[in-house]
Amino acid sequence: MTIAVRTLDDGAWISVNDSRQVSVSDVWTLSRGVFCDCEPAYVLLEAFVDVSVDGSIVFADAVGQCLECGTRDPIDRLPVGRVVDGEFRPYDPEGVQWRVEPESERASRE
Ligand SMILES: [Zn+2]
């Protein structure tokens, strides 16, 4: 099954199968060490730069800003939800414990 994803409105929305599903106005809770030194970091997304699908998981590349320390940076491959039985189920922004894994680690595990 093909999952069609794209960004809309200059990165304000992620569209999944032609329906607006994820908005940038959410604050995501990111675990420590991936974005800034806050633990956890509460990051307000400013724009989605790109969106991709890996298996059934939808990942977004975004730009965000930490509400506590003000760090503003790109975020790569933030999982924003997954597709189950053709239906998009967004993750809870407050529940995501996202962290960056170095490419080498990821490759060696696969
Ligand atoms: Zn911070």
Distance 30 CA to ligand 1 centre (A): 10
CA 90 to ligand 1 centroid distance, Å: 24
The larger pLDDT score, comparing residue 45 to residue 97, is at 45
Helices then strands, counting H and E runs in the chain, come out as 1, 8
Give whole-number Cα distances, 66 to 42, 63, 84, 109, in Å: 6, 10, 31, 30
* Per-residue pLDDT tens digits for 50-82: 999 999 999 999 999 999 999 999 998 898 999
State how far the Cα of 86 lies from the Cα of 72, in Å rounded to an integer. 34
Position 49 confidence tier, pLDDT thresholds 50, 70, 90:
very high
pTM value surpassing 0.85: no
pLDDT digits (tens, 9 = 90+) for 11-40: 999 999 999 999 998 899 887 666 888 888
